[in-house]
Structure 1
Amino acid sequence: MWTKGQLTTYREQGFLVQRGLIPPDQIERLRSAADEMMSEQADNPPEVHVVREKSGPVRSVFCMHRNVQPFRALCRSAPIAGPIKQIFGDDAYIFHSKLNYKESFEGTVWLWHQDYGYWRYDGVDDRLASALIMLGPNTRNNGSIALVKGSHRWGVLDHYSDEITTSYKQWCITPEALREHITDESMIIPIEGEAGDVCFYDCRIVHGSNHNFSPAQRYSLIYAFAAIDNVPSGVENPRPDWVVARQFEPVTAELPESVAGTF
Structure 2
Amino acid sequence: MMSRVLLSAASKRLLFTTRLRIRTFSSISSYHCSQTNFRITDEMKATFSFNGYVILRHVLTLEEMVKLKEAIEQNGTLKSNSYYVGDGMEGRGSRLSIWCNPGHDITGIVARSEKIAGTMEQLLGGEVYHYHSKLIMKEALTGGSFVWHQDYGYWYQNGCLFPDMGTAFIAIDRCDEDNGCLQVLRGSNRLGRIEHGRVGGQTGADANRVNEILKHLPVDHVVLDPGDVLYFHCNLLHKSNRNESQRRRWALLSAYNRASNDPFIRHPWPTYTPLNKVPNSAILQCTNYTDMTGKGFVEPAMDKTVEGKR
Say whether the fold is shared (TM-score over 0.5).
yes
**2:259 equivalent in structure 1:** 228
Shift of 1:234: 3.1
Shift of 1:23: 0.4
CA distance in 2, matches of 1:64, 1:94: 8
Shift of 1:41: 7.1
Native 8 Å contact 1:115 1:204 kept in 2: yes
Shift of 1:247: 6.2
> 3-state DSSP class of the match of 1:212?
coil
**1:28 equivalent in structure 2:** 66
RMSD: 2.4
Mapping of 1:207-218 within 5 angstroms? 207-218=238-249
Alignment deviations for residues 3-44 of structure 1 (CA, whole Å, 9 cap, x no partner): 111111111111000111110111111111111113x775x3
> Which is higher, the Rg of structure 1 or of structure 2?
2
Match of 2:132 among 87, 90, 96: 96
**1:11 equivalent in structure 2:** 49
TM-score between the two structures when normalised by the length of structure 1: 0.84
CA distance in 1, matches of 2:283, 2:170: 19
> 3-state DSSP class of the match of 1:2?
coil
1:155 paired to 2:189: no
Native 8 Å contact 1:228 1:250 kept in 2: no
Match of 1:180 among 186, 189, 212: 212
> 3-state DSSP class of the match of 2:82?
strand
Match of 1:146 among 183, 188, 200: 183
**1:206 equivalent in structure 2:** 237
Native 8 Å contact 2:51 2:186 kept in 1: yes
**2:145 equivalent in structure 1:** 109
1:191 paired to 2:222: yes
Alignment deviations for residues 72-114 of structure 1 (CA, whole Å, 9 cap, x no partner): 1111212112221112332211111101110001110110000
* One-letter amino acid of the structure 2 residue matched with residue 130 of structure 1: T
**1:126 equivalent in structure 2:** 163
TM-score between the two structures when normalised by the length of structure 2: 0.72
Deviation >4 Å, runs of 4+? 53-58
More helix, by proportion:
2
Structure 1 unpaired stretches of 5+: none
Greater relative CO, 1 or 2 (CA 8 Å, sep 6+)? 1
Shift of 1:261: 2.8
CA distance in 2, matches of 1:120, 1:113: 13
Native 8 Å contact 1:73 1:260 kept in 2: no
> 3-state DSSP class of the match of 1:66?
coil
1:262 paired to 2:300: no
Match of 1:72 among 80, 100, 108: 108
Shift of 1:246: 4.3
Native 8 Å contact 2:163 2:235 kept in 1: yes
Deviates more, 1:70-79 or 1:57-66: 57-66
* One-letter amino acid of the structure 1 residue matched with residue 190 of structure 2: R
Closer/same/farther in 2, CA of residues 33 and 65 from structure 1, 3 Å limit: farther
CA distance in 2, matches of 1:33, 1:57: 24
Mapping of 1:35-54 within 5 angstroms? 35-38=73-76, 42=79, 44=80, 49-54=81-86
CA distance in 1, matches of 2:133, 2:71: 15
Structure 2 unpaired stretches of 5+: 1-38, 288-310
